Amino acid sequence: MKQLFLALGLMASSIFQPLLAADKAADKAAEEAKNAVPAAPSPRVQVFTSMGNFTIELNAERAPLTVAHFLRYVDQGQYTNSIFHRVIASFLIQGGGYDTSYKLKPTPYKIFNESGNGLTNQRGTVGMARTAEPHGGDSQFYVNLYDNAALDPNQSRWGYAVFGKIVQGMEVVDKIGNVSTGKVGPLKEDAPLQQVVILKIERVETPTP
């Protein structure tokens, strides 16, 4: 269990902090989120990578703040030439924070934690990564390779907000999830030994029902 939380950059003990301790951060994040551009109910983006492409359908109905936040970074080109810097087989792949020189990209926007939206961390879902701070999410996102209930919220802790799901190209995600990993540059573990680059992420037209 501890390994799961460490994999997202968290100590297991730190996420069980009292909810009231996050009130100020929550208020600030919620205020900033009011300026987010609203999204259509189910917008889609395509993620172009050095190992193939996959498509994410975003759930703006259940996670409106997170979807608007993510699309703001998409539209600003934040993810161009970033990498998947954390890959753990049968758990998740995580990226969108480091460039190809293993330097963190500037992330001026934080996001209110919407982990109580009813969406769960099932295989193929996409969530917002964060620090130990409940509202510390920025541009980094992850894709669940497995059903990861340990990342869902409960009455005593914040979880990780799910805001979309893979609708095309899950085989590419699985392929990324099986690359060899280890210590690379400043990353002490779980980094692909051969870079998996996010070439770009772009909005794509949502199919008409």
Asked if residue 115 belongs to a domain, the reply is yes
Q: Are 158 and 115 in contact (CB under 8 A)?
A: yes
Phi and psi of 68, rounded to 5°? -65, -40
Q: Are 23 and 17 in contact (CB under 8 A)?
A: no
Q: In 3-state terms, what secondary structure has residue 162?
A: strand
Asked if residue 21 belongs to a domain, the reply is yes
Asked if residue 79 belongs to a domain, the reply is yes
Query: Does the reported pTM lie above 0.75?
Result: yes
Q: What is the mean pLDDT of residues 166-192?
A: 98
pLDDT for res 16: 37
Q: What is the mean pLDDT of residues 62-84?
A: 98
Q: How many domains does the chain have?
A: 1
Residue type, 133: E
Place of tokens 């193939």: 52
Q: In 3-state terms, what secondary structure has residue 163?
A: strand
Least confident of 39-53, 78-92, 127-141, 175-189: 39-53
CATH number of residue 101's parent domain? 2.40.100.10
DSSP bridge partners of 44: 57, 204
Q: How far is 111 from 140, CA to CA, in rounded Å?
A: 11
Structure tokens at 189: 């573990």
Above 60 in pLDDT, residue 8? no
Q: How far is 144 from 89, CA to CA, in rounded Å?
A: 10
Q: Are 184 and 103 in contact (CB under 8 A)?
A: no
Residues 6+ apart with CB under 8 A from 103: none
Say which residue, 145 or 30, is predicted with more confidence: 145
Asked if residue 209 belongs to a domain, the reply is no
Q: Give the domain range for residue 83.
A: 2-204
